[in-house]
C-alpha cells in the first residue's frame, strides 16, 4: 500500500495575501519537479482555485472535489490512489472549518504581503496552527523589489515562526498567467517569477522531505541540503541591480496606525554627545589619513588611469 500523502495547507485570515496564487503555483511546480502526483483541494466557497483549474488545458495537478467533513477519509483515499502530495487552499477567514482543515496538515504555509494590515492579521491564523502544534512556514508574497518593509516584515514574522528564505515579488505575470489557467512558469519558463516559484518549491520540498525521513540516518544518503544563500544574497537583493531604490518608503512603525506590538514605549533617545566626545550630531566620513603605518600607499593619483595595474 502506498504511504500517506503529505498534506500542505495554505491558510491566512487575510484575503488577497496569495493563498490561491501561491498554492496553485506550488502544486504545478511540485508536479514539474517530480514530487507528484499532486492533488489540489479547494475549500474556499468562492472557488477561485477551482475556476483556475477549470480554465487549465493540462490535467495535472489533479483536482479533488471533496467536502471538509470528509477530508480525513478522502486524504486516505487519495493516498491509496497513489497521490503523494495534497495541496489545500482555504477561504480568507478564521472559522472552525479552517481549524478542521489544519488538523489534517503536515505543513501549514501562511502567505503574507509585506504590509502592516497583513502583519496585523496573521495572529489568529498563527494561534490555530500553534494550538495544533503544526509546522508553519510564512511566505512573503507580492513584495516590492528591495523595499525596506520586506526585511522588516520578515523580522516581525520570524517572532512567530519560520520565514521561507524565498520571497515572491509583486509582478503582473502572477495575476495574468492565472487568468487562462496557467502559472508564471507555464507562460515563461525563464521569467524571474518562474525562478522564484521554483526556488520556493525547492525549499518547501526540502522541509517535506525532512518530515518524511522518520530516521535521521535516512537523510545521509540524500544529496546535500541545498542552501538558499544564493537567493537571499543575489546581486539583485543585495542592492546591486539597476532597479530603482524606493528610498522614500516608510518604515513599518512609521506607517499610519501601526505601532510595534504593544510596546507603547517612547522612541529611543537621540544619542547624546558625551562630555568627552566632540560629536556634533552629524555623521561624517572619517578623514582620509592614508594607509596604515608601514604599508605602501596604493591610492591612485589623478594621472594614473583606472583599469591598468599600477606598479610602483
**Can you give the binding site for Mg ion, defined by CB under 5 A?**
19-20, 48
Q: What are phi and psi of 136, to 5 degrees?
A: -130, 140
Of these partners, Mg ion, ligand ADP, none, which one is at the site of residue 165 (CB under 5 to 8 Å by kind)? Answer: none
Q: What are phi and psi for residue 110, nearest 5 degrees?
A: -115, 95
Edge-to-edge order in the sheet of strand 107-112 = 62-63, 38-42, 85-89, 6-10, 107-112, 136-140, 162-163
Handedness of CA 184, 173, 135, 156 (dihedral sign): positive
Instruction: Please identify, using beta-carbon distances, which residue of 8 and 79 lies nearer to ligand ADP.
Output: 8
Task: Find out whether 158 and 137 touch, Cβ atoms under 8 Å.
Answer: no
Give, as ranges, the residues between 45 and 84 that touch ligand ADP (CB under 6 A): 48
Q: How far is the CB of 189 from Mg ion (least distance, A)?
A: 25
Q: Least Å distance between CB 108 and ligand ADP?
A: 14
Please, are residues 108 and 135 in contact by the beta-carbon 8 Å criterion?
A: yes
CA distance 206 to 33: 12
Query: By CB under 6 A, is residue 175 in contact with ligand ADP?
Result: yes
Question: Which string of x and - marks every residue 197-236 that binds ligand ADP (by CB under 6 A)?
Answer: ----------------------------------------
Among Mg ion, ligand ADP, none, residue 175 binds (CB under 5-8 Å by kind):
ligand ADP
Q: Among the candidate windows 67-75, 170-178, 225-233, 303-311, which touches ligand ADP by CB under 6 A?
A: 170-178
Among 92, 114, 116, 185, binds ligand ADP (CB under 6 A): 92
Q: How far is the CB of 142 from ligand ADP (least distance, A)?
A: 4
Which partner in Mg ion, ligand ADP, none is near 32 (CB below 5 to 8 A by kind)? none
CB 167 within 8 A of CB 150: yes
| Strand partners of residue 41 | 88
Distance CA(82)–CA(264), nearest Å, equals 54
How far lies 188's CA from each of 174, 199, 270, in Å?
11, 15, 50
Nearer to ligand ADP, 83 or 174 (CB): 174
Shortest distance (Å) from residue 175 CB to ligand ADP:
3
Residue of 19, 56, 84, 182 that binds ligand ADP (CB under 6 A): 19
Cβ at position 120, least distance to ligand ADP in Å:
15
56's CB contacts (< 8 A; 6+ apart) are 181, 182
Binding positions for ligand ADP, rule: CB under 6 A = 15-21, 48, 92, 141-142, 168, 170-171, 174-175, 178
Amino acid at each position: 500500500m502506498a504511504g500517506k500523502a503529505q498534506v500542505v495547507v495554505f491558510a491566512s485570515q487575510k484575503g488577497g495575501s496569495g493563498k490561491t496564487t501561491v498554492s496553485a503555483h506550488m502544486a504545478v511546480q511540485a508536479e514539474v519537479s517530480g514530487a507528484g502526483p499532486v492533488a489540489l483541494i479547494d475549500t474556499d466557497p468562492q472557488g477561485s482555485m477551482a475556476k483556475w483549474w477549470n480554465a487549465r488545458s493540462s490535467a495535472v495537478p489533479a483536482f479533488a472535489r471533496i467536502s471538509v467533513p470528509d477530508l480525513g477519509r478522502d486524504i486516505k483515499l487519495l493516498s491509496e490512489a497513489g497521490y503523494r502530495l495534497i495541496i489545500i487552499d482555504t477561504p480568507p477567514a478564521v472559522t472552525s472549518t479552517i481549524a478542521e482543515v489544519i488538523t489534517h496538515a503536515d505543513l501549514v504555509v501562511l502567505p503574507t504581503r509585506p504590509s502592516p494590515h497583513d502583519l496585523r492579521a496573521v495572529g489568529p491564523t498563527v494561534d490555530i496552527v500553534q494550538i495544533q502544534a503544526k509546522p508553519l512556514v510564512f511566505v512573503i508574497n507580492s513584495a516590492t523589489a528591495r523595499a525596506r518593509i520586506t526585511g522588516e516584515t520578515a523580522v516581525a514574522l520570524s517572532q512567530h515562526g519560520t520565514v521561507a528564505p524565498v520571497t515572491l515579488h509583486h509582478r503582473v505575470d502572477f495575476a495574468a498567467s492565472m487568468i487562462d489557467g496557467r502559472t508564471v512558469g507555464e507562460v515563461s519558463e525563464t521569467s524571474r517569477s518562474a525562478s522564484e516559484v521554483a526556488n520556493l518549491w525547492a525549499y518547501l520540498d526540502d522541509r517535506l522531505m525532512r518530515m518524511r525521513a522518520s530516521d535521521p540516518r535516512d537523510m545521509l544518503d540524500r544529496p546535500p541540503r541545498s542552501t538558499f544563500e544564493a537567493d537571499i544574497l543575489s546581486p539583485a537583493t543585495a542592492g546591486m541591480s539597476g532597479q530603482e531604490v524606493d528610498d522614500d518608503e516608510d518604515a513599518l512603525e512609521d506607517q499610519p496606525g501601526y505601532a510595534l506590538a504593544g510596546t507603547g514605549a517612547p522612541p529611543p533617545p537621540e544619542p547624546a554627545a558625551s562630555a568627552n566626545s566632540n560629536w556634533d550630531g552629524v555623521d561624517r566620513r572619517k578623514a582620509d589619513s592614508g594607509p596604515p603605518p608601514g604599508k605602501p600607499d596604493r591610492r591612485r593619483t589623478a594621472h594614473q588611469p583606472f583599469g591598468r595595474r599600477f606598479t610602483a
